[in-house]
Amino acid sequence: MRYGIKTFFFLFSLTILSGCASLTSSTKKTKLYTVAFYNTEKLYDTKNDPKTDDDGFTPDGIMQWDEDRYKTKIRNIAKVIESIGGKNGADLLGVSEVENRQVLEDLVGSSPLRKRRYNIIHYDSPDPEGLDVALLYNPRVFKPTAHTNLPIQFSEKGFSSRGILQVKGTLAGEPVTVYVTHWPEDRGSSTLGTARRRDAAAELRRQLDAQQKTDRDAKIIVLGDFTDEPKSANMEKVLRATGRPDPSYNEELFNTFYLWYVQGRGSFHTRNDNKMRDQILVSKSLLNTRGGLHYAHGSAFIHDPEFAKFTFGRYKDTPRQTWSGTLYIGGYSDHFPVYIKLQK
């Protein structure tokens, strides 16, 4: 275990909450909704965009990114998404590392996903690599009412990255706000990377503060690849996302994957270590089980189907990615998706 006696009591309290939720579920008929996030690992098309650094991902580029490889990538990512959350799939799915709307259209229109009939919300971002975030949603369950791309003002001069996607709407008839984010990576400097993520965390926190000031009980879901893990200062101190389910700390977000992190599990694997980079955060209002839409305690899950991971050798049980450096492997993504269940 990564922590001591505090961790024990934290795990104990979550076990009690999970047990209560199970009892509630067994005695009442409830409807479950799946909310997920997936970093697709550089889902580029094959065309060169002169405005972004995507030259490697063309047929003549270093990645030899031709139509066959692109179609394989689309099928693979669609296969993973189709398998998330049971037979009905994800009702809300945040995605990252997608180049443009066209790759999203190709993705939702591919054979494994066509039956889901996902709608898309996407904005082009100023990310130098041209990789964006987006939200796919089931229009029979989620009805968007407003959406925008929130730019991040970085303190580092000349640096830009993707913004934060904010989508407001109704899920199962109740108002919710969904944020989709992918924070900057280190790119050779952990100090700069940490500072950039601090700026992203501060911007997201400003948006949350403004919303909660207007509506203290707003139901908020944050989906993302935060690059930082749950215990980082950016997550706990700046964003105020913790593993504390206590509703009296109303301004905090509850990190539904904190327990996975404490157990040493992760959605991303690097340097022989699991990293819990992909997380889903919910406002404390979604922990209220007394009525209405709420988080199903204990439902947070790393989706790691056998077909999407290495099954033997040094990297057994880790994501089977598309690339290892510039070597084409033909897998899925270097991340596993994560998801939770909401119930009503």
Q: How confident is the model at residue 41 (pLDDT cuts 50, 70, 90)?
A: very high
pLDDT at 20: 44
Inter-CA distances, 261 with 11, 74, 132, 179, 307, Å: 12, 30, 26, 21, 23
126 or 272, higher pLDDT: 126
Percent pLDDT > 90 in the chain is 83
Please give the pLDDT value at position 87.
87
Q: What is the pLDDT of residue 272?
A: 76
Among residues 223, 227, 187, the alpha carbon closest in space to that of 204 is found at: 223
Split at pLDDT 50, 70, 90, the class of 248 is confident
Look at 20-34, 66-80, 222-236 and tell me which has the smallest mean pLDDT. Answer: 20-34
Q: What token pair was written down for 200?
A: 């992203």
Element (H, E) at 196: helix 190-214
Q: Could you give the percent of the chain with pLDDT greater than 70?
A: 92
3-state DSSP call for residue 253? strand
Query: Regarding predicted confidence, which is higher, 187 or 195?
Result: 195
Task: Check residue 16 and give its pLDDT.
Answer: 40
Strands in the chain per DSSP E:
32-43, 92-98, 119-122, 132-137, 142-150, 164-171, 174-182, 220-225, 241-242, 253-255, 268-270, 273-275, 278-283, 294-295, 301-302, 323-324, 327-328, 338-343
Residue 28 has pLDDT above 90, yes or no: no
Q: What is the pTM of this model?
A: 0.92
Question: Helix, strand or coil for residue 241?
Answer: strand
Query: Which residues, including other chains, have CB under 8 Å from residue 330's CB and lie 6 or more apart?
Result: 69, 72, 76, 322
Give residue-wise pLDDT tens across range 138-174: 999 999 999 999 999 999 999 999 999 999 999 999 9
Q: Has residue 277 got a pLDDT over 70? A: yes
pLDDT in tens, 315-339: 999 999 999 999 999 999 999 999 9
In this structure, what token pair is assigned to residue 303?
């989706």
| Residue-level pLDDT at 2 | 52
pLDDT digits (tens, 9 = 90+) for 97-118: 999 999 999 999 999 899 999 9
Tokens representing 214 are 């207007």
- Mean pLDDT, the chain, as a whole number? 92
Residues 17 and 298: beta-carbon distance below 8 Å = yes
For residue range 191-239, list pLDDT tens digits in order: 999 999 999 999 999 999 999 999 999 999 999 999 999 999 999 999 9
